[in-house]
Amino acid sequence: MRGLLACATLARRAAAASSTGGASTAARRHLAGAAEAAEAELKKTALYDFHVAHGGKMVPFAGWSMPIQYKDTIMDSTLNCRANGSLFDVSHMCGLSLQGSQAIPFLESLVVADVAALKDGTGSLTVFTNDKGGAIDDSVVTKVNDHHVYLVVNAGCRDKDLAHIGAHMEAFQKKGGDVKWHVHDERSLLALQGPLAAPTLQLLTKEDLSKMYFSDFKMIDINGSACFLTRTGYTGEDGFEISVPSENAVDLAKALLEKSEGKVRLTGLGARDSLRLEAGLCLYGNDMEQHITPVEAGLSWAIGKRRKAEGGFLGADVILKQLKEGPKIRRVGIFSQGPPPRSHSEIVSGTGENIGEVTSGGFSPCLKKNIAMGYVKNGLHKAGTEFKVVVRGKQYDAVVTKMPFVPTKYYKAP
């Protein structure tokens, strides 16, 4: 990833040198060639040409060429998602199925969720943990039935997640365990989010979506394609993630945009990040990492009641101890003055003592103010606690606030 970003930087330097005449022809060719090589290394989703045709600004992300925005600004895209709707291509994420009579016990050895307790066709956020209780990745896991689990893992964690799951599966199978897997590389993933998500999607399926609630999962026909549909998302809005055969992905994207009469817009990763931050949702690699436990991340609710009593997952001893005694650090929401704090901005007390660090931050398009998430020492995590954030060497007033920053609008059962 860093190599790809470095090549993108070379491309910008090449463009600058060309415009100023500040580099030799050979140097410009070398820089341009490096940029082309970087682009060639990137994987492309089935909608790549569709993005480019619609003005998508493509950037390297987790080894993929993905749209960060389209013709409108990130702020406008964020606001439109909350007012109308957004369509995201999230095909860089990795969907996989675990199947077999022991698929659930196997998965439960790796995650904190009580998967067995889920009703068929329902899901939950969970966390893959390591032997120290730290987060390997977070994932939405769905119990299709007692012998089939469907889950989606983050693009940037794909290789390590698959290696981790694969190694444990091999050991499980050698002991006679009945489980196998399939990685759904033949499918694309679209996220339809916002108030118009349900009415727009309803025009393309005979399934009654009013009876499908947050975290529900169904295998249904949408626009003539056999799809996996989950009522979930990463924006805080009502919405769906649609796993569709890749050969039908462009047609489905076109149909969703057309049925909304232009109100649902293609939206890039820039607005997706603003939306998830406003919703108080973690970004793996920023707000969750291998040394952060689910308890520290404020995700104790994702640990099933039975799992809290029995353990049985990697790092359970560390996590169960934190549940009993409390963690040393906690994730908090923050409002701040001055320039927006960013990842790694220091958090200090009024006397200048280091008490934590910002992990995500920016300007909220909806609230018109700075918002951030970070970790502080336990005891300093309660709403109303005041401290300072350090941005570009200067201290600015900040205060702990409850999350989500913007109220969520999930469609839940009455």
Binding-site residues from annotation for substrate: 241
Which of helix, strand or coil describes residue 398?
strand
Helix axes 74-83, 269-278, angle to 10 degrees: 60
Q: How many residues does the chain have?
A: 414
What count of Cα atoms within 13 Å lies in the side-chain half-sphere of residue 410?
17
Find out whether 240 and 230 touch, Cβ atoms under 8 Å. yes
| Both structure tokens of 180 | 């196998």
Helix, strand, coil percent content, the chain, rounded in steps of 5: 30, 30, 35
End-to-end Cα distance, the chain: 44
Task: Please report which residue ranges of 175-232 form alpha helices under DSSP H.
Answer: 197-202
Find out whether 89 and 252 touch, Cβ atoms under 8 Å. no
Sequence letter at residue 52: V
Task: Please report which residue ranges of 42-137 form alpha helices under DSSP H.
Answer: 48-53, 74-83, 103-108
| CA gap 83, 196 in Å, rounded | 8
Known binding-site positions: 241
| CA gap 89, 264 in Å, rounded | 13
| CA gap 120, 122 in Å, rounded | 6
* C-alpha 400, offset from chain centre: 23
Find out whether 123 and 215 touch, Cβ atoms under 8 Å. yes
